[in-house]
Amino acid sequence: GEDVEQSLFLSVREGDSSVINCTYTDSSSTYLYWYKQEPGAGLQLLTYIFSNMDMKQDQRLTVLLNKKDKHLSLRIADTQTGDSAIYFCAESNGEYGNKLVFGAGTILRVKS
């Protein structure tokens, strides 16, 4: 079945880069997403990548996809205290409107 795994916790200093990793099992995954959740708030879509891409960059965010190893990463450059949140990796097997399967989330703590 589908499964998405993430490391539970990451702590970085303000100004450093953060790298959050994710692995998934569904080889038919077509879209892979990164969501951010702040305390008491809903999920905010940060970025997504189509499975035929290796990399996607959007301002401070860089997503790397290794489809062979089913590994996805999110790099946040120049991490700020406002980036402290829970980051969820999610996959979808691609048909319009298909369900998202989420990982358990990675808590990112940014120290000033």
Partner 1 sequence: EAGVAQSPRYKIIEKRQSVAFWCNPISGHATLYWYQQILGQGPKLLIQFQNNGVVDDSQLPKDRFSAERLKGVDSTLKIQPAKLEDSAVYLCASSLGRDGYTFGSGTRLTVV
Longest pairwise C-alpha distance within the chain = 42
Tell me if 30 sits within 8 A of 48, measured CB to CB.
no
Q: Give least dist CB 76 to partner 1, A.
A: 18
Q: Would you count residue 44 as binding partner 1 (CB under 8 A)?
A: yes
- 83: phi then psi, degrees, rounded to nearest 5: -85, -10
Tell me if 23 sits within 8 A of 5, measured CB to CB.
yes
Q: Would you count residue 71 as binding partner 1 (CB under 8 A)?
A: no
Binding residue for partner 1 (CB under 8 A) from 18, 103, 108, 110? 103
Q: Would you count residue 45 as binding partner 1 (CB under 8 A)?
A: yes
User: Which residues bind to partner 1, rule: CB under 8 A?
Assistant: 4, 31, 33, 35, 40-45, 48, 88, 90, 96-97, 99-105
